[in-house]
């Protein structure tokens, strides 16, 4: 566990020392929140949503921030490959599983911090959290999103050498994941085929879990959301560990 902690601490320190990275990661979520939230708040009516459209999309924007930060944590693997740090780590007499878990937890932690910043900013924009326990539920779902998609990013990065190629592939993958998650629109209003695709998207269950925690209501039972997202998280950690162990030094 010392190895896991050391690598986790390295990733967290790198993130906290990179102020430009922290501020830059806020750009897209805040843009969508301000433009879509305030721009459509008086136009779009969500049935049963007392806080209006801006309240509806805030959990989705928080999820997006966690998603993007966690997935692109996989770049750290490619970066370490190119500069030789990963080779030095892999030849050490430690388990590759511990190395992978340290990278995963480190990336997930930075993703949750990023999502937490958006959450705090949302409070100043009028978000009314249902309860303190609901806040804890939202953090749990943020953590599950962070772990699962960090492991997913590591799995992809383990098979790649080019950083730019990784970014292109991730953009191709994560934008549909976010777009189909129900973050910006109610699932119940979708046509049947689109609703089916949305329910196949693992991020959907993270968004609905956060929405339940913050607003007290969701379109999917929170218990189902927790089970599905937990299962996806376990699957991604297993896949990421398997592909990470196959990295050649």
Confidence class for position 42, pLDDT limits 50, 70, 90: low
Distance (Å, rounded) from C-alpha 147 to C-alpha 159?
19
Find the range with the poorest average confidence among 135-144, 147-156, 179-188, 193-202. 179-188
CB 49 within 8 A of CB 211: no
Q: Give the tokens for residue 59.
A: 């959990």
Answer yes or no: is pLDDT of 240 > 80: yes
Q: Looking at residues 92-115, what average pLDDT do you find?
A: 87
| Alpha helix (H) residue ranges in 96-158 | 96-124, 132-157
CB 129 within 8 A of CB 59: no
pLDDT for 63-93, tens place per residue? 988 998 888 877 878 877 777 677 777 777 7
Q: Give the tokens for residue 140.
A: 């749990």
State the angle between helix axes of 96-124 and 222-245 in degrees (0 to 180), rounded to the nearest 10: 140
Confidence class for position 140, pLDDT limits 50, 70, 90: very high
pLDDT of residue 236: 95
Tell me the pLDDT of the chain averaged across its residues: 83
Find the range with the poorest average confidence among 27-36, 39-48, 192-201. 39-48
pLDDT of residue 231: 96
Whole-prediction pTM value? 0.90
């Amino acid at each position: 566990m010392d190895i896991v902690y050391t690598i986790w601490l390295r990733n967290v320190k790198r993130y906290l020392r990179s102020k430009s990275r922290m501020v830059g990661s806020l750009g897209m979520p805040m843009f969508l929140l301000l433009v879509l939230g305030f721009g459509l708040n008086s136009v779009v009516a969500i049935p049963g949503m007392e806080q209006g459209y801006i309240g509806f999309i805030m959990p989705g924007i928080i999820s997006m921030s966690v998603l993007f930060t966690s997935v692109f944590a996989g770049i750290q693997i490619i970066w370490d490959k190119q500069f030789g740090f990963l080779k030095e780590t892999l030849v050490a007499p430690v388990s590759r599983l511990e190395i992978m878990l340290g990278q995963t937890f480190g990336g997930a932690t930075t993703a949750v911090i990023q999502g937490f910043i958006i959450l705090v900013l949302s409070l100043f924009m009028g978000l009314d959290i249902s309860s303190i326990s609901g806040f804890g539920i939202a953090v749990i779902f943020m953590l599950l999103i962070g772990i699962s998609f960090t492991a997913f990013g590591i799995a992809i990065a383990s098979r790649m050498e080019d950083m730019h190629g990784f970014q292109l592939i991730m953009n191709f993958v994560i934008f549909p994941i976010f777009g189909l998650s129900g973050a910006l629109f109610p699932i119940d209003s979708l046509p049947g085929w689109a609703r089916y695709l949305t329910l196949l998207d693992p991020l959907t269950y993270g968004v609905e879990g956060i929405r339940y925690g913050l607003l007290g209501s969701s379109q999917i039972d929170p218990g189902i959301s927790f089970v599905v997202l937990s299962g996806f998280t376990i699957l991604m950690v297993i896949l990421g560990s398997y592909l990470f162990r196959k990295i050649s030094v």
